[in-house]
Structure 1
Amino acid sequence: MSTQVNPFILLDGTAKEAIQFYEQALGAKVLFQQTFGDAPEGTLPADAKARIAHSVLSIDEAVFFVSDSIPGDSLVTGNHVGICLSTSDASTSQQFYEALQQGGKVEMPLQEIYFSPAYGVVTDKFGVTFQIFTKRPR
């Protein structure tokens, strides 16, 4: 048996924009994407059809999901999802940190800290909190 744990980012109508942002900011690749309109006819509201029902993205070997809620469903945005991006070098961490803070908010500046040569926390413009962690060289 094999089990995989994947972060799942649920947004309120901005998933398509978030996916494009993660492609640029993190070099994410879209492995799969489907809108609610792609599903067989159902009882969904018309304004739900263009929303992302499910998407699968990858960054190197890591896989995560991004989706929209159905209009009218209650959704609390903010730090309901946290993602830790672990890199092997500070320059990659710096690149991610700078890209993710565009339109977002710095929670903790990227800096050397006792457990990492470059660690910082950013909440992006979609309300998703990213910890950027650089591994110490061995």
Structure 2
Amino acid sequence: MTAQFHPHLYFETECRAAMTRYQAVFGGDLQLNTFGEIGMEGDPDKVLGASLRTPDGLVLTAGDVTPGSSAGTGGSISITGDEATLRGWFDALAEGGEVHMPLEKQIWGEVFGQCVDRFGITWLINAETGRS
């Protein structure tokens, strides 16, 4: 088996809403486990672990911070791919959030944009144009 990176995001209490939104944007299979399912201290509805596996082979994991955790919340994710797909994802992720840099052609020749979604996650979207 080859090694793979899987981004992991932390939320204060919005993991379920964020991951459900990301499933709507990217598609795929979402698995959630709550604090209550394992009898963990704290709000039983908070998400201990979530995993989204998309049809494109992307894997995103997340959870709400656990009591006493030193993990912060938030994070950023960079996605590279074809412009048609990424443009739709960018628009969906920016909905209810804030666009910091519109998705447009940049001086290095590729299409790039940056937004922060309504959950405070920064998305860096880079569409490869096939230039050499």
Sort the TM-score into its range (normalised by shorter chain).
0.7 to 0.9
Structure-1 separation of matches of 2:129 and 2:50? 32
List alignment gaps of at least 5 residues for structure 2. Answer: none
TM-score when scaled to structure 2?
0.85
Deviation at 1:103, TM superposition (A): 1.2
Identical-pair percentage: 28
Cα offsets for 1:69-95 (capped at 9, x unmatched): 1356566445xx21112122x222221
Match of 1:100 among 93, 104, 112: 93
Cα offsets for 1:8-41 (capped at 9, x unmatched): 01001101100111011222431x32111111x3
Cα offsets for 1:87-109 (capped at 9, x unmatched): 22x22222111111111111111
List alignment gaps of at least 5 residues for structure 1. Answer: none
Code of the residue aligned with 2:34 in structure 1: it is T
1:67 corresponding residue in structure 2: 63
For residue 136 of structure 1, give the secondary structure of its aligned residue in structure 2.
coil
2:108 corresponding residue in structure 1: 115
TM-score when scaled to structure 1?
0.82
Instruction: Supply the RMSD in Å over aligned alpha carbons.
Output: 2.1
Structure-2 separation of matches of 1:85 and 1:94? 11
User: Does the CA contact (< 8 Å) of 1:33 and 1:52 recur in 2?
Assistant: yes
Would you say how many aligned residue pairs link Structure 1 and Structure 2? 130
